């Protein structure tokens, strides 16, 4: 199946570069280009892409607000947002993930990593990699959130003990294979538990499951260790 992609970035040259790279692959096509958040929302509704490759810093409505609007729209429930960011400095990444984004890539990403990331998010297996998950946790999700009520833990009541255990290990950055080795089960069993947890918690994908794990207190950030 062809992955339909919408490009949202205010830099025309960058959009053109991404289009050329993406359309060189027979399993992908670019269905539209947006220069700001409002245009991204309109084109997403018009084309219903599988993926929106979304820049954050754009004039007018920025990518963060556009991500929230797209992810909150029931008509776009099958559309996933992949954030493009300057990884080391963009403090909005965690907010974008909480708004419903499925993952993120740095703008200096290699061509192969970009294509792999698109395919990964399209398959629902965000945050792109265990390494990216750990980096996200360390830099963004580890900050305390005073606005998260203690009652949010009740969201986990629908999960079985094993589903909570697998969810916690995934939130700590474990891949399906790593979790399977740790629990002495098959990777397919791990994937099944993760999918069931996503369904019960109404998480769009693995990225949102990680966010929920921290928001509910299932997993707590570890303080940095001295070298």
pLDDT of residue 227: 43
pLDDT of residue 24: 95
For CA atoms 130, 132, 135, 140, give the dihedral sign: negative
What tens-digit pLDDT sequence spans the chain (227 residues)? 899 999 999 999 999 999 999 999 999 999 999 999 999 999 999 999 999 999 988 999 999 999 999 999 999 988 999 988 775 555 666 677 778 888 878 777 888 888 988 988 888 765 555 555 566 666 555 555 555 555 466 788 899 999 999 999 988 878 888 899 999 999 999 999 999 999 999 887 787 888 888 878 888 766 544 44
> What number does CATH give the domain 150-215?
1.10.10.10
Domain range annotation of the chain: 3-128, 150-215
Tell the CATH superfamily of the 3-128 domain. Answer: Response regulator (3.40.50.2300)
Q: E-assigned strands of 36-154? A: 51-55, 80-85, 103-106
**pTM for this model (two decimals):** 0.72
Given the DSSP bridges, would you call strands 80-85 and 28-34 parallel, antiparallel or unpaired? Answer: unpaired
């Amino acid at each position: 199946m062809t992955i339909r992609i919408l490009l949202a970035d205010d830099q025309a040259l960058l959009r053109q570069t991404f289009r050329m790279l993406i359309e060189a692959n027979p399993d992908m096509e670019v269905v539209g280009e947006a220069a700001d958040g409002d245009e991204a929302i309109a084109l997403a509704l018009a084309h219903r892409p599988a993926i929106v490759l979304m820049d954050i810093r754009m004039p007018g409505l920025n990518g963060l607000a556009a991500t929230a609007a797209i992810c909150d729209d029931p008509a776009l429930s099958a559309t996933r947002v992949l954030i493009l960011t300057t990884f080391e400095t963009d403090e909005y990444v965690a907010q974008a993930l909480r708004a419903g984004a499925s993952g993120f890539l740095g703008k200096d990403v290699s061509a192969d990593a970009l294509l792999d990331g698109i395919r990964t998010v399209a398959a629902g297996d965000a945050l792109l990699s265990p390494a990216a998950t750990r980096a996200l946790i360390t830099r963004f999700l580890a900050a305390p959130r005073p606005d998260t009520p203690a009652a949010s833990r009740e969201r986990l009541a629908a999960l079985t003990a094993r589903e909570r255990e697998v969810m916690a290990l995934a939130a700590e950055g474990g891949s399906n294979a790593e979790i399977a080795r740790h629990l002495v089960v098959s990777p397919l069993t791990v994937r099944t538990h993760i999918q069931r947890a996503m369904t019960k918690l109404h998480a769009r994908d693995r990225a949102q499951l990680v966010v929920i794990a921290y928001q509910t207190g299932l997993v707590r950030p570890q303080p940095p260790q001295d070298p």
